[in-house]
Amino acid sequence: MRLAAESRDNHLTLRRVERQQRLVELLGAVHEPVPSSVLARQLGVGLRTVERDLARLRESGVPIESVPGPYGGSRLQRNAAPDPVHLTFEEIAALIASLTALGPTATRTSDSAMRALVRAIMPR
């Protein structure tokens, strides 16, 4: 069975989003720069795919530093303990809609995020 072009595009978008989420998680779990070749191997994709994903994340404002040299790679500049995030109802609604469109249970962390967002708007 062949997927329609739109279905394939949606599937590829979902895979890219999941992969980019995983990239942020992988880089956030270590302090040292990680070579793109290592990231590609961990994600099961090619080197160019990882480089494009890193570029998209940087363009979106994610503080991923590129470290040159033989021990270089990509490193996520982050707080050890992220600051609490305060969102308006409208911002929460936007995130819920985005997660719903991409598949709120696609990963363990997206499922956890969806549950936290829904809890935040539930009446008490």
Type and span of the H or E element at 53: helix 47-59
The 10s digit of each residue's pLDDT in 9-37 is: 666 776 888 889 889 989 988 999 999 99
CA separation for the pair 107, 79 (Å, rounded) = 23
- pLDDT over threshold 60, residue 42: yes
Token pair 């394939």: residue = 8
Q: Give the residue extent of every domain in the chain.
A: 5-76, 89-121
Chain centroid to Cα 65, Å, comes to 16
Residue that has been written with the tokens 């997660």 in this structure: 99
| Tokens matching residue 113 | 């995020």
Report whether 54 contacts 74 (CB < 8 A): yes
18 within 8 A of 106, measured Cβ to Cβ: yes
Mean pLDDT for the chain overall: 86
How far apart, in whole angstroms, are the C-alpha atoms of residue 124 and residue 118?
12
8 confidence band (pLDDT: 50, 70, 90): low
**CB-based contact 46:40 (threshold 8 Å):** yes
pTM score, whole prediction: 0.76
CATH code, 5-76: 1.10.10.10
The string of pLDDT tens digits covering residues 85-108 is 899 999 999 999 888 877 766 677
